[in-house]
Amino acid sequence: MAKQVLKTGIPIPVKIVTWILICAGCFFFYVYTFNPSISFPDANLGSYSAKMGFASAGVRILGSVAVLLISVIANNPRWLFITLISRIFIELGDAVTGLILDGITANTFALLVLASVEIWSTLLLWRTIRPNP
């Protein structure tokens, strides 16, 4: 079987979305890891488990940002496709958790919008990477 060679890289609209996700991810890494009260005014960081929960969320965000950055710099649509698929599941899982804990909030709505944009980007990437007949 011959190895498929992509003639194009990541589509420009997806690159723009990816850079926005990278910038937002850097901000939220800071928020979750160092200053959660920016997004969660009632956050109580008095216990080890609360500190660990916020810090581990920050590390998860930073890991996602690193993979997005590697994918977009390498201009590799396959890597970005897989990264966005995993992010879609994470965003939808966070939205469901938010619905269960808090009901419909601005955060839940934002997560659903984010997942929708990531689904759109994934569909554009799929058209780029799927094998040509």
| Mean of the per-residue pLDDT values of the chain | 89
Q: pTM score, two decimals? A: 0.85
Percent of the chain whose predicted confidence (pLDDT) is above 70: 92
pLDDT band at 6 (very low <50, low <70, confident <90, very high): low
pLDDT digits (tens, 9 = 90+) for 78-131: 999 999 999 999 999 999 998 998 888 888 898 999 999 999 999 999 999 987
d(CA 56, CA 71): 23
pLDDT digits (tens, 9 = 90+) for 70-80: 999 999 999 99
